[in-house]
């Protein structure tokens, strides 16, 4: 069957079609805990190839109902988003041309690695501020399709705030552009007697008729990547109708992205970081109230378990700083080593990053924060310039460290991206860690964007242990119950994928999930694109595909 499919696909595209053992194994995984083996992996060379692939599946779907297409770029997703048991469409081989930049807007293809994208933007004094912590290994297709965020999102917002236009192939096998439309532009689209016109008419009707339900379901927290973004498509105040809002974060379930226009912001010249060492969470809410009004660019955190791992594998961290950097890091981390040996590591580390083009403004903000912190008698440190690197290394690289360095145990990201009101952190986090503590098989670290209430809890487990595999859905259900009861989101950046789609009803309710299903059907009535994500999530399928070997 696979050979037959390979032969058929080779006839319809100019790109590469592969199904070797090595290729199938590689594309069976992302950064999640899943393994799903595709039938074949294709590498399209151009727009015509992508259109041909969609047409091929569309024309053969009745004979082969399980035939589908799942887009993939770098494969760094932690939700199982780019995994599928049919055809994987890999964009990083050919859709990776150097982005063009014009008047502060970059045009990029999905297979462009963010590190190459950033090199190009920084050369012009610009940056895309919504990059994720995986910036050294992720690609632009995943960033757009997951609605990624990161350390700068506190100040600058998420990917959805920067995508100006997307070029996409839809389920009729044709290429279209989505961009913001004014009232007249929307009327023109809705008057079209074709597939595109039908999409605009049906989506407009859906958001109009269900406005109350949609707005009631809108997450009130700072970040959300769960479900389809129906609440921001139509801005009645400005009469702007924007389907890019729906596309960004749709995880490739509505079609295939060929390119995107992305807004950039100017870089800043100066930065200073205040590091706060908390012995407990008792004053966290008070500290947050001190920090947020000062407008930090980022406000991050990680726990004592994360630092313990960084110290345990210190050489790997230090190598990233170079020889002289290793010496500096050794000196800088000496107090942390001593604290660990004495059993006095802080419970939580807070990183508050201020940036500005005015160094005096930075000094004023840092001085004000330090003054307000005085009554709490906490240990603090001001890190300037390169001194910040050691803290950012721990924060950014902790997940990669866990993936590669914990022998016989592996990371299991399944409650890795929830969002709550920052004021509820000191009550909600202990509830969640309390759930995990009932399962001694789960070692876990806590890190995240504390200024936004967005936390990444990454358990480390022996994934072959039946007790671990059985506990994963139980823990997820309990954790997401707490999150939803507190008005939070089950995913702020990492999206739904295989792991969270089954819990969308728990977060949004059945009526809202039915609207999500209608959106999917409007764009993709045959179910061509990325099944089991966003709608019709199958928890049984997900749990049956937890990988056993790394």
- Domain parsing of the chain, residue ranges: 2-93+523-544, 100-266, 270-485
CA end-to-end distance (rounded Å), the chain:
28
Across 400-433, b (16+ Cβ under 10 Å) vs e yields bbbeeebeebbbbbbbbbbbbbbebbbebbeebe
Distance CA 315, CA 126 (A): 33
Do 36 and 545 contact (CB within 8 A), yes or no?
A: yes
Distance CA 118, CA 116 (A): 5
- Pick left, alpha or beta for residue 406 (phi over 0 → left; psi -120 to 50 → alpha; otherwise beta): beta
- At residue 381, the pLDDT reads 86
Element (H, E) at 102: strand 100-102
Q: Which residues contact 65 (CB under 8 A, 6 or more apart)?
A: none
- At residue 447, the pLDDT reads 87
Do 193 and 199 contact (CB within 8 A), yes or no?
A: no
pLDDT lower than 70: segments of the chain: 1-2, 310-311, 313-314, 316-343, 384-407, 550
The CATH number of 100-266 is 3.30.465.10
Do 76 and 494 contact (CB within 8 A), yes or no?
A: no
Do 255 and 69 contact (CB within 8 A), yes or no?
A: no
Quick count: other Cβ atoms within 10 Å of Cβ 519? 26
Q: State how far the alpha carbon of 515 is from the alpha carbons of 53, 203, 522, 534, in Å.
A: 28, 10, 10, 11
Q: SS3 sequence, 331-375? A: HHHHHHHHHHHCCCCCCEEEEEEEEECCHHHHHHHHHHHHHHHHH
| Cα–chain center distance at 297 | 19
Sheet holding 16-18, edge to edge: 16-18, 40-43, 87-90, 69-72
The structure tokens listed for 460 are 């480390």
- At residue 410, the pLDDT reads 82
Domain boundaries 2-93+523-544, CATH class: alpha beta
Q: State how far the alpha carbon of 315 is from the alpha carbons of 325, 327, 336, 342, 402, in Å.
A: 11, 11, 15, 21, 14
Report helix, strand or coil for 79: coil
Place of tokens 């999917």: 520
Distance CA 455, CA 415 (A): 9
Q: Which residues contact 159 (CB under 8 A, 6 or more apart)?
A: 130, 143, 144, 146, 147, 148, 149, 248, 249, 262
Distance CA 85, CA 70 (A): 9
Report CA Rg, the chain: 23
Place of tokens 């399928």: 541
- At residue 395, the pLDDT reads 62
Quick count: other Cβ atoms within 10 Å of Cβ 61? 16
Place of tokens 């096998």: 173
pLDDT in tens, 316-359: 656 655 655 555 555 555 566 566 666 678 888 899 999 999 99
Distance CA 356, CA 170 (A): 43
* The architecture CATH gives domain 270-485: 3-Layer(aba) Sandwich (3.40)
Distance CA 501, CA 506 (A): 10
Backbone angles phi, psi at 512, to 5 degrees: -70, -40
């Amino acid at each position: 069957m696979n050979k037959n499919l390979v032969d058929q696909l080779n006839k319809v595209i100019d790109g590469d079609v592969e199904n070797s053992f090595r290729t199938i194994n590689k594309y069976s995984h992302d950064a999640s805990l899943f393994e799903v083996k595709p039938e074949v992996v294709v590498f399209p060379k151009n727009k015509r190839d992508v259109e041909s692939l969609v047409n091929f599946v569309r024309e053969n779907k009745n004979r082969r109902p399980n035939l589908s297409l799942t887009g993939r770029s770098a494969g760094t997703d932690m939700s199982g988003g780019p995994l599928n048991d049919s055809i994987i469409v890999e964009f990083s081989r050919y859709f990776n041309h150097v982005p063009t930049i014009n008047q502060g807007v970059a045009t990029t293809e999905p297979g462009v690695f963010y590190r190459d994208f950033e090199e190009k933007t920084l050369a012009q004094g610009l940056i895309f501020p919504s990059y994720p912590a995986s910036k050294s290994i992720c690609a632009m297709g995943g960033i757009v399709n997951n609605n990624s965020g990161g350390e700068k999102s506190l100040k600058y917002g998420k990917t959805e705030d920067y995508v100006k236009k997307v070029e996409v192939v839809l389920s009729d096998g044709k290429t279209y552009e989505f961009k913001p439309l004014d009232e007249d532009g929307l009327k023109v689209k809705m008057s079209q007697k074709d597939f595109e016109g039908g999409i605009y008419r049906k989506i407009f009707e859906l958001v109009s008729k269900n406005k109350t339900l949609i707005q009631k379901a809108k997450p009130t927290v700072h970040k959300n990547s769960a479900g389809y973004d129906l609440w921001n498509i139509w801005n009645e105040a400005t009469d702007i109708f924007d389907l890019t809002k729906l596309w960004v974060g749709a995880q490739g379930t509505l079609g295939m992205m060929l390119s995107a226009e992305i807004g950039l912001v100017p870089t800043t010249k100066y930065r200073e970081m205040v590091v706060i060492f908390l012995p407990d969470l008792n004053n966290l809410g008070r500290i947050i109230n001190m920090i947020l009004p000062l407008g930090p660019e980022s406000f991050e955190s990680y726990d004592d378990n994360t630092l313990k791992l960084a110290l345990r594998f210190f050489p790997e961290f230090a190598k990233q700083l170079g020889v002289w950097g290793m010496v500096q890091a050794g000196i800088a981390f000496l107090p942390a080593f001593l604290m660990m040996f004495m059993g006095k590591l802080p419970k939580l580390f807070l990183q508050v990053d201020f940036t500005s083009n005015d160094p005096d403004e930075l000094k004023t903000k840092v001085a004000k924060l330090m003054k307000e912190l005085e009554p709490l008698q906490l240990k603090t440190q001001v890190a300037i310039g390169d001194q910040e690197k050691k803290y950012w290394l721990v924060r950014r690289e902790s997940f990669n460290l866990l993936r590669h360095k914990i022998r016989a145990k592996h990371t299991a990201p399944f409650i890795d991206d929830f969002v709550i009101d920052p004021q509820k952190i000191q009550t909600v986090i202990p509830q969640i860690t309390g759930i995990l503590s009932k399962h001694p098989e789960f070692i876990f670290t806590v890190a995240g964007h504390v200024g936004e209430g967005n936390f990444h809890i990454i358990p480390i487990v022996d994934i072959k242990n039946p007790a671990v595999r059985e506990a994963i859905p139980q823990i997820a259900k309990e954790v997401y119950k707490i999150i939803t009861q507190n008005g939070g989101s089950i995913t702020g950046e990492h999206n739904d994928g295989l792991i969270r789609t089954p819990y969308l009803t728990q977060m949004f309710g059945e009526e809202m999930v039915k609207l999500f299903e209608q959106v999917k059907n409007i764009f993709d009535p045959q179910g061509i694109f990325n099944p089991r994500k966003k709608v019709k999530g199958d928890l049984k399928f997900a749990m049956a595909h937890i990988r056993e070997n790394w």
